[in-house]
Structure 1
Amino acid sequence: MQAKLRLLFAAIAVLTVGIVTGWAIRELTFPKTEVFQGSDFALVTAKEGELSRDIRLDATLTWDKSVPVIATRSGILTQLSAGASSSFENGSEVFSIDLAPTFALHGDIPIYRDLAWQDEGPDVKQFQQFLTDTSDATLEITGYFDEATRQATRSWQTKHGLEQTDVAAASSFIAIPQFPARMSWAEDTRVGIRVEPGQLLGEAYYGEPSFTIEAPAAQASIITSNMRVTLQFGEDSWEATVSEIGAPKDDGSSTVTLAPAPGQESICGDGCAALSSATARIPSLIHVVERVAGIVIPTAAITNGDDGSAAVIAQDGTKLPVTVIATAGGQSIVEGVNSGQAIRVGANAEARIEDTQ
């Protein structure tokens, strides 16, 4: 029994000497190692790249200003000259009944009476301006139907193949406040139908259309004023900007109102003439994050520096201050780190490093 105990103690002594000797050799032979306290973290490499973020929604175009276009006499509708796919100007023929044309006239006062010798009033002044703008006549705009106005009326009638009556018939004109304008004909308006005086044929739209976007709650929460918007109409693209974001509705959505891009007077410009109805839906991109190039890192790698500003943690645990340029899709473009630099990311990225002997 005693012999077995002596052998056990001898074995323990030999093992202890081996452990101590191994530890001494390791310390003398190998350098110190870094021990990370806590859970692990990952290392990622900063790289050159690009970021952007767009929201795809339909914009609704609406013509807010219009005047009704009504039949000016009874008869057969023989021509619809102003089509929905094109704009028309002051003096353009809009439609004809029994081949007698009705022309667009620039003005705010609806045409309600025939005008002839010695008539006077603001509607006469409006007609005199029309003759000056659409013919070779040079009239004094007085609001009084004088001899010069009568002669100019006869000349205008001759130019358009009309009978010289010396009278500006109300049935020959429709007043529209602004040009260019475009027509949206009523569903049952077509060449060949019989019409009666006062029958609504359609509407003439003028001015600038309004553009709005109905943004669901999730998208509305990240849309801000002055964001750039690109609208795609066929092969053309129009630029706009977010001008106003309406209050949330019951479902959380908001109406986003668009305005012309900076330096522009119109969203659709000359392309407005191609719009064929009172309302239209146009695919659009809201540029939430404009395309930008730079050093890309995971957004999760960004932490707070000692002064509360943005920072990242280098592989060796050093905090590096950074400036965040853009963020999209869990990635950020920053200034302050170089391409190829390894940085920490993870819940324990700020783990301290201890030297152990």
Structure 2
Amino acid sequence: MRRRGVGRVVIVLVAVLATGAAVTAATGFWGGEKPAETGKDLPAATAKVTRQTLVDTRTENGELGHGAPVEVTGKLAGTLTALPAVGLTVERGQAIYWVDDTSVVLLYGTLPVYRPLGPDTEGTDVEQFENNLAALGYRGFTADRKYTVQTATAVKKWQKDLGLPETGTIEQGRIHYAAGPVRVDGHKAAVGADVAPDAPLLSYTGSARLITVELGVADKRLAVKAAPVTVILPDDRTTPGSITGTATVLVPASGTPGSQATTIIEVTVAVADQNALAGLDEAAVKVVFSASRRENVLTVPVAALLARSEGGYGVEVANGTTTKIVAVETGLFSGGRVEISGEGLDEDMTVGMPS
């Protein structure tokens, strides 16, 4: 009787083990993999893990023009005798307006005129002026912070060429500085008018065509100076550009009931190939910003992501006839793909695409 009891225990134990093996195979407890007995256990659709560069882009409307105009005010007393034509480009050494039939000359620089210049004057403004004089072809002096006798001699030659009295000194208001060539945008005074101190005479913009884009404050991350952009022209041609400036601008309320002032980010975009803008003076364009960029990262289609019950995401990796869920960290989303990282992931792996 005792031997028959032991036999029954062994038979029950074998049965339990067999049942446990069957449950384990069915529920995928062998190292997290689930052997596929039939094709229905594999994903219906798959995709490859790729290694690539992802770029998050945003397209915004922009206006092609010449940028915000700058006003020129009178510094020399007298009568306004001539103005350059609207639309004309004025370059270094040329007259930007005329007072008492003598020219006020455009030079290049960022430091405005604030005093007369003559022998024994020293400073950054002297160096800026002497650099311009040298660029115009006048020699015999050293372009530095000191206005010397040699500088005065070169100035007399310059004044003679301009038809000015050969004094060797520069009266305040005889020159006007701009960052580069300018395009006359409009006239603010009539020829024949008396030039009053600080009264506006004309306005100008830069000579190069620029693009202005208005962004909301929430999109400030797009406005990174020197960042490259792509400009889409009205005929759908594209040309590269770069962000040359940003400014925070307060837009006043419109005056209608309930309207409020708003703050915008004004972005200036320059186009290096000005020939690409031929025939376009003012036009509506589109600007494609690169908000962020991730180089050489693993990616999968966004649709391959699976929400995990314990939180986060995973992907179903297929290997031969088995699959397993691998936890992943997501990064940049762009163009229907997502950056992923996780243990055991590699390029060219096959992942399931849930139907």
> 1:76 matched to which residue of 2?
81
RMSD: 6.0
Letter of the 2:315 partner, please give it. Answer: V
1:45 aligns with 2:46: yes
Rounded Cα–Cα distance in structure 2 between residues aligned with 1:100 and 1:244:
37
Tell me, yes or no, if the aligned pair for 1:313 and 1:320 is still in contact at 8 Å. yes
TM-score, structure 1 normalization: 0.52
Aligned to 1:343: 352
Distance (Å, rounded) in 2 between the aligned partners of 1:221 and 1:101? 44
**Matched residue, 2:186:** 186
The residue aligned with 2:95 is 93
Aligned to 1:263: none
| Partner residue, 2:59 | 56
2:138 is the alignment partner of 1:138: no
Residues 54 and 298 of structure 1, relative CA distance in 2, 3 Å threshold: same
One-letter amino acid of the structure 2 residue matched with residue 195 of structure 1: A
AA at the equivalent of 2:175: I
Partner SS state of residue 180, structure 1: coil
Deviations 1:189-246 (A, max 9, x none): 68xx43331352224668xx999854458x7399697995505286642234999999
CA contact (8 A) 1:76 1:194 kept: yes
Q: What's 1:328 paired with?
A: 334
CA shift, 1:45, in A, is: 1.1
- What secondary structure is seen at the aligned counterpart in 2 of 1:108? coil
Shift of 1:286: 1.9
- Measured after TM superposition, the shift of residue 74 of structure 1 is 1.3
Give the structure 2 partner of residue 197 of structure 1: 195
What is the distance in 2 between the residues matched to 1:163 and 1:244?
A: 41
Determine what percentage of the aligned residue pairs are the same residue: 11
2:307 counterpart (303, 307, 314): 303
Question: Are the counterparts in 2 of residues 245 and 256 from structure 1 also a CA contact under 8 Å?
Answer: yes
Distance 2:330 2:306 in 1: 9
Alignment of 1:112-191 (within 5 A): 129=130, 131=133, 134=136, 135-138=138-141, 142=146, 151-160=153-162, 162=163, 164-166=165-167, 168=169, 170=171, 173-176=174-177, 179-187=179-187
| Shift of residue 311, structure 1, vs aligned partner | 2.2
How far off is 1:166 after superposition? 2.7
How many residue pairs match? The answer is: 285
Larger Rg: 1
Secondary structure of the corresponding residue to residue 141 of structure 2: coil
Q: Is the contact between residue 185 and residue 202 of structure 1 (CA under 8 Å) also seen in structure 2?
A: yes
> With structure 2 as the length reference, what TM-score do the two structures score?
0.52
Letter in 2 for 1:197: V
Q: Secondary structure at the match of 2:231?
A: strand
Superposition pairs of residues 227-266 of structure 1, within 5 angstroms: 229-232=228-231, 236-240=239-243, 255-256=264-265
How many angstroms apart in 2 are the aligned matches of 1:319 and 1:127? 68
Distance 1:138 1:300, change over 3 A: same
Alpha-carbon distance between aligned partners in 1 of 2:170 and 2:155, rounded to the nearest angstrom: 10
Q: Does 1:312 align with 2:315?
A: yes
Q: 1:46 offset after TM fit, Å?
A: 1.0
Deviations for 1:161-190, whole angstroms, at most 9, x for unmatched residues? x155436574872332x5325244335568
Q: Confirm whether residue 103 of structure 1 aligns to residue 101 of structure 2.
A: no
Q: Which amino acid aligns with 1:220?
A: D
Task: Structure 2: give runs of 5+ residues left out of the alignment.
Answer: 1-21, 29-40, 250-258
Consecutive unaligned residues of structure 1, counting only runs of 5 or more, are: 1-30, 261-266, 347-357
SS across alignment from 2:195: coil
> How big is the shift at 1:80?
1.5
For residues 241-290 of structure 1, what are the alpha-carbon distances to aligned partners after superposition, in whole Å with 9 as ceiling and x for unaligned? Answer: 999999xxx99x87457699xxxxxx66796xx9xxxx998632122464
Asked if the contact 1:125/1:141 (under 8 Å) is kept, the reply is: yes
Question: SS at 2:229's partner residue?
Answer: strand
What is the letter of the counterpart of residue 160 of structure 2?
T
The 3 A distance-change label for structure 1 pair 67 and 43 is: same
- SS for the counterpart of 1:154 is helix
